[in-house]
Structure 1
Amino acid sequence: MATTRSKPASKTSAKPAAKTRAKLASKVAKPAATTPAAESTTSMGRVLDARPDRLDFRDRLYAPPLHSLPAAFPSNDEIKRFLGSYVKQGLILNQGTEGACTGFGLACVANYLLWVRHLGSGSRAKFESVSPRMFYELAKRYDEWPGQDYDGSSCRGALKGWHKHGVCACSLWAYPLNANNEPVFERPKEGWATDATQRPLGVYYRVSKFSVVDIQAAIAEIGAVYVSAEAHDGWDGLLNDKPTKPPLNHGQLPVIAPVKDPKSKGGHAFALVGYNERGFIVQNSWGERWGTAGFAILPYDDWALHATDAWACALGVALSLPDGKGGMRSQEASRWRVASGRSINELDRSARQPNNPVDDAWPLDHAFLRPEHEPWPTDQAYLHTLVAGNEGRLMVSDITRHASDAAGHAQEIVVEQPLAWFKGRNEKVLKLALYAHGGLNSEGDSIDRIRVLAPYFAANGIYPLFVSWKTGVGETLSGIVEDWARKVFGPEDERAGGWLDLGEAKDRAIEALGHVVGKGIWGEMRENAACGVQAGHLLDLLAQQLQSLAQALQKNKCQLELHLIGHSAGSILLGHLLTVLGKLPASPQRPSASSCTLYAAACSVRFAVEHYLPADSLGVLSLKQLHLYQLSDANECGDGLPSAERPVYGKSLLYLVSRALDDARKMPLLGMERSLLPAFARDATQWEAKELPFVQQWQKAWSPPAGVLAATTVTSPKIRQTRMGDQAVSSHGSFDNNIEVLTQTLERIKGGPLVGELEWLDY
């Protein structure tokens, strides 16, 4: 069943349906340990938690064909001829006690469409159900509702998943139930990824839930429609003690009774596979004991009262693509979340280079001198990435793993994958670079950057591991800044010169408004980073797994050499990580950082004093190995938001954070050049007076050798980002585009020159 965040039924309201619920649930015990608890109404021992889809104007709307509809669909003759064999094929599914109806409802629709195709082909092979488990896991990952408890999912999420991944056979990704009717999670078997691409979704359209005629037309045209509605105690009354025989005609279908107890309602997803004068024909996923062999009639008035969503969909065609060797290859479904706007049957026409795959095109389309520098596939990038979500939780990006298995996910990414890579190398030291992204880019944009950056690390014997953010604040902040400017100055086109030309006065006005109304978004990101240290959250799991990696290496008389790199707000993540590492018992197995490089650190100097200074005394990072890169103050003031080319706010992100978004106005940030210069250590016009002692304390503790600060300050207004000499503006976001900066970082970690010049960083 699907998802509305409804409250559990009270003990009083649960009594009338207690007997029927107990029968169908077969004395249901507590939910399976692998299944997160859902705060939603239960019916017959099952979770009703299907969420209604959010309004999305990008949805394609179904337009019914212009022809008359049959009075009933399917015909009585078709029911008699085909429904019995349909049931015998095992296509009446049972989701058990888990709220997995979004997966099961869509599986019913997919099975019906594939079964019709199977009959039409004349094949005598046994028909096999698709995997409802795969659909359900996809629905949870692509659910558009915020939250991390996975207590339900939406129809759109399931359809997006099918569109992006296809669906494999149930035998390759099963949905077993234990003796208590509780589902037991199992990961898919080998071969699932290739098999899934053989059942792609073609097109899908939203059908108006208010139009009975449109839904009837879709059913008559396609055969099955994927819907969600509020189920209730009227559905409970169709429970039978044992499976019943399939109906032979419309007249043998039972009718769902009207709701008696409104508190029994909860979201449920299912398939509509027919209609008649009484209502729609439901194919449910509660087994053959419900209704007549799993089927019943939902009256039109009940649908009108309780409907939430309706979708019409059709099958697609599996593709074969050139393998680059003169042959053809099958596609494989990704284990990982696929970026917005992409699906298994969408090819990228921008791919021109011979090795650039059209079904997973590189973020940049250039010719590389060294094949090992070519961008990685998206799946490979994900195998090197941990994604931080709300409250600093580790997002389980791998759809083949249970959404609650963050510990297992962290172990694979941080321990198992590096060890497998290191096993084939004749070395005693595993150099691992942990790169924390800045929080400006979304997960998809960060993965694109990782695809480009990671090969340069690996080519030089450095294992790259990245921490990205589920949602980036860059676009949000840029949009907010433009809104602030309009609130202060009005629409730009109402001014003769436009408010882009107002200079410092404009910036001060935006800062003043931002300090009052805009601190929340930056504070939330900092809070998410801080929450990562909680037990079972990202930074806690990362520290544990780094220690496990170090221990595994030491058993083989090898060692871990950890290097930290942080860009912008990545410095906040790394500061908290160092604190967690410092709290581990001191031992040879405790990981410590051999170096730490921060690009335009967005943490405050106070934060650096509280986290980076103790790391030195605790032995997890020597301040002598802390390397800071920053823009010159002139470049900070030449930057802008949303960009230097369109400076609605005429300075860098760090200036906006310092003067508007952090706890104090004029907060000294570690990544700002003036925080590191003695001339400003006591300047109350530059920094908030209460923060000056922290600036002085930091400068006293961290004093780079002569010339180092000048060497790591980007003073040129342009940076080189390609081997051909192409340049970009020196901006807050340009450090991972800067060939000189990244070369220095890699050479410092490697301990020598690189195998070849960095080629393209112009993503």
Structure 2
Amino acid sequence: MSEPVADFGALRPHLVDLSNGKLSPGGLVSTTPADVDRIFEEHLPRFISGRPGPAPVLFWAHGGLVDERTGLEAAASQVQWWLANGVYPVYFVWETGLLQVLSDRIRRGAQRYRLFPALSLMKAGGTGAAPPVPTLVPRALPPLTEAADTFVEWVARHAGGPAVWADIKANAARAGAKAGSLAGEGGARYVARRLAAFNRAHAGDVGLHAVGHSAGAIFQSSFLRAAFEEGVGAFESLALLDPALTVGDFKTGLLPLLGSRIRVLSQFSLGRQRALDDVCEVRGVRFYNKSLLYLIHRALEEHPDTPLLGLEENVAADPDLAALFAGGTLAEAVWSPQLSGPDASRSDARSHTGIDSDTLTMESLAHRVTGRGAVVPFPG
């Protein structure tokens, strides 16, 4: 059993813990409606008291890779830094854990086809349902080839990977569900309703911002839609970190809101070469030789090769998106590495999972959220 790394209970003023889209009654930390009420009735009013407004309030949603503990640890490592920069953060921890589930399914799928743990290369022209590509190889052997990644994508698709990914996306949708819906009121919807009431009582006292990492971009699409439906006027900014959001869903869900309900959009993602150099690992074992976004793009969406907003080549191939980000007024894309230029537009992220701990990326976010020329350095 791993040792606790933080007093997670101390995060309650900055935490909304969800399970299957609902406020979580159990787990490492529970969040009840009363806990959410205290954020907007006690903690946030105390934070903005005496501050020259509007005070920045940031809603953060982590990616679909992490379980509850990892999401809590990330929040615990960042909350004090945001506060030191004059920002009140609220972290949605929505208990996903895609990477662990997916890697287990790939392993079981490989075993089903008797290709693991033999770890030998298949010969070209193989028979049966499996394609003529290599199986997984141990880390002691040469790096995975493109053919090996193709095999992983094939196994992921045929071992239920799309169903796992679809459930992650459904989880995000359930979080924003209305009261009275078949799923019942989602936890993010409850937060949105309380936020709208707070805004009415404290008009002009806060500026709202949102960040979504990976599948957190899908979650934020659901949360922002709920917030606007509940009466929240606008968010000053939305930042997406290596978003696993499809281009189609972005165009229908978020793009129409830019400039009005969402004032400014920024995206920080791995550039094409960094994404190709990335790897997917679980417990130190590599099972895919690229960024997770490539696995989602090629194998986990309902239709293979569905364009994703976080992949540079998919954005470049779409005239509408290329024009949007080239304009630089409503939206900006920062593709890592970007080591020079404005302080708010830098990134040296080297991995999909680590972009939210990259110093340049996080300090760029702080510049954008605070509007300040100097920010407290990110602790890393």
- What is the match of residue 255 of structure 2? 613
| Cα 1:432/1:417, change in 2 over 3 Å | same
Matched pairs, number: 347
Residue 308 (structure 2) pairs with residue 669 (structure 1): yes
Q: 1:627 aligns with which of 242, 254, 266?
A: 266
Residue 187 (structure 2) pairs with residue 548 (structure 1): no
Residue 99 (structure 2) pairs with residue 499 (structure 1): no
Work out the CA distance in 2 between the residues paired with 1:571 and 1:481.
25
| Cα 1:676/1:633, change in 2 over 3 Å | same
- What is the match of residue 469 of structure 1? 94
Contact 2:298/2:306 (<8 A) preserved: yes
Deviation at residue 397 of structure 1 after TM alignment? 5.4
Work out the CA distance in 2 between the residues paired with 1:644 and 1:634.
24
Deviation at residue 467 of structure 1 after TM alignment? 0.6
Contact 2:172/2:218 (<8 A) preserved: yes
- What is the match of residue 367 of structure 2? 747
Work out the CA distance in 2 between the residues paired with 1:571 and 1:400.
23
Residue 212 (structure 2) pairs with residue 566 (structure 1): yes
Q: 1 or 2 for the larger relative contact order (CA 8 Å, sep ≥6)?
A: 2
Alignment-mate amino acid for residue 242 of structure 2: A
Work out the CA distance in 2 between the residues paired with 1:411 and 1:418.
10
Q: 1:480 aligns with which of 105, 111, 135?
A: 105
Contact 1:432/1:561 (<8 A) preserved: yes
Residue 29 (structure 2) pairs with residue 380 (structure 1): no
Residue 355 (structure 2) pairs with residue 732 (structure 1): no
Contact 2:8/2:29 (<8 A) preserved: no
Alignment-mate amino acid for residue 213 of structure 2: H
Work out the CA distance in 2 between the residues paired with 1:469 and 1:455.
21
Alignment-mate amino acid for residue 336 of structure 2: V
| Cα 1:539/1:703, change in 2 over 3 Å | farther
Work out the CA distance in 1 between the residues paired with 2:302 and 2:237.
29
| Cα 1:742/1:510, change in 2 over 3 Å | same
Work out the CA distance in 1 between the residues paired with 2:5 and 2:188.
32
- What is the match of residue 705 of structure 1? 328
| Cα 1:675/1:463, change in 2 over 3 Å | same
Q: 1:520 aligns with which of 159, 163, 167?
A: 163
Greater C-alpha radius of gyration: 1
Deviation at residue 563 of structure 1 after TM alignment? 0.7
Alignment-mate amino acid for residue 743 of structure 1: E
Deviation at residue 454 of structure 1 after TM alignment? 0.9
Contact 2:28/2:68 (<8 A) preserved: no
Deviation at residue 499 of structure 1 after TM alignment? 3.5
Deviation at residue 756 of structure 1 after TM alignment? 3.2
- What is the match of residue 107 of structure 1? none
Contact 1:540/1:580 (<8 A) preserved: yes
Secondary structure of the 1:732 match is coil
CA deviation map 1:693-722 (0-9, x unaligned)? xxx44445554439x967x111389xxxxx
Residue 57 (structure 2) pairs with residue 418 (structure 1): no
Q: Which segments of structure 1 move beyond 6 Å, counting only runs of 4 or more?
A: 398-401
Work out the CA distance in 2 between the residues paired with 1:398 and 1:503.
40
Q: TM-score, normalised by structure 2?
A: 0.82
- What is the match of residue 174 of structure 2? 531
Deviation at residue 455 of structure 1 after TM alignment? 0.9
Secondary structure of the 2:202 match is helix
Alignment-mate amino acid for residue 750 of structure 1: T
Residue 145 (structure 2) pairs with residue 508 (structure 1): no
- What is the match of residue 378 of structure 2? 758
Deviation at residue 443 of structure 1 after TM alignment? 1.3
Secondary structure of the 1:499 match is coil
- What is the match of residue 595 of structure 1? 237
Alignment-mate amino acid for residue 241 of structure 2: Y
Deviation at residue 654 of structure 1 after TM alignment? 0.6
Secondary structure of the 2:236 match is strand
Give structure 2 stretches of 5+ with no counterpart.
Answer: 122-133, 180-184, 340-347
Contact 1:579/1:615 (<8 A) preserved: no
Deviation at residue 361 of structure 1 after TM alignment? 4.8
C-alpha RMSD over aligned residues: 3.0
CA deviation map 1:260-290 (0-9, x unaligned)? xxxxxxxxxxxxxxxxxxxxxxxxxxxxxxx
Alignment-mate amino acid for residue 202 of structure 2: L
Deviation at residue 597 of structure 1 after TM alignment? 0.7
Which runs of structure 2 are paired with 1:35-434 in the superposition (5 Å)? 341=2, 361=5, 377-390=7-20, 392-396=21-25, 406-423=32-49, 425-434=50-59
Contact 2:176/2:189 (<8 A) preserved: yes
Contact 1:602/1:669 (<8 A) preserved: yes
| Cα 1:743/1:498, change in 2 over 3 Å | same
Work out the CA distance in 2 between the residues paired with 1:426 and 1:709.
30
Work out the CA distance in 2 between the residues paired with 1:420 and 1:399.
26
| Cα 1:468/1:398, change in 2 over 3 Å | closer
- What is the match of residue 345 of structure 2? none
Work out the CA distance in 1 between the residues paired with 2:274 and 2:27.
40
Work out the CA distance in 2 between the residues paired with 1:530 and 1:466.
17
Alignment-mate amino acid for residue 715 of structure 1: P
Work out the CA distance in 2 between the residues paired with 1:400 and 1:454.
16
| Cα 1:488/1:639, change in 2 over 3 Å | farther
Contact 2:14/2:90 (<8 A) preserved: yes
Work out the CA distance in 2 between the residues paired with 1:470 and 1:379.
16
Work out the CA distance in 2 between the residues paired with 1:650 and 1:487.
22
Work out the CA distance in 2 between the residues paired with 1:383 and 1:475.
29
Contact 1:382/1:447 (<8 A) preserved: no
| Cα 1:532/1:495, change in 2 over 3 Å | same
- What is the match of residue 714 of structure 1? 336
Work out the CA distance in 1 between the residues paired with 2:54 and 2:338.
37
Secondary structure of the 2:253 match is helix
Deviation at residue 396 of structure 1 after TM alignment? 3.8
Alignment-mate amino acid for residue 531 of structure 1: R
- What is the match of residue 227 of structure 2? 581
Deviation at residue 450 of structure 1 after TM alignment? 1.0
CA deviation map 1:715-755 (0-9, x unaligned)? 389xxxxxxxxxx9811111111000000100111111445
| Cα 1:714/1:421, change in 2 over 3 Å | same
Work out the CA distance in 1 between the residues paired with 2:243 and 2:41.
28
| Cα 1:382/1:483, change in 2 over 3 Å | farther
Deviation at residue 670 of structure 1 after TM alignment? 0.8
Work out the CA distance in 2 between the residues paired with 1:627 and 1:601.
11
| Cα 1:399/1:698, change in 2 over 3 Å | closer
| Cα 1:547/1:756, change in 2 over 3 Å | same
Deviation at residue 495 of structure 1 after TM alignment? 2.6
Identity %: 22
Work out the CA distance in 1 between the residues paired with 2:28 and 2:377.
37
Contact 1:499/1:506 (<8 A) preserved: yes
| Cα 1:645/1:407, change in 2 over 3 Å | closer
Work out the CA distance in 2 between the residues paired with 1:532 and 1:541.
9
Work out the CA distance in 1 between the residues paired with 2:27 and 2:113.
45
Secondary structure of the 1:470 match is coil
Work out the CA distance in 2 between the residues paired with 1:754 and 1:656.
38
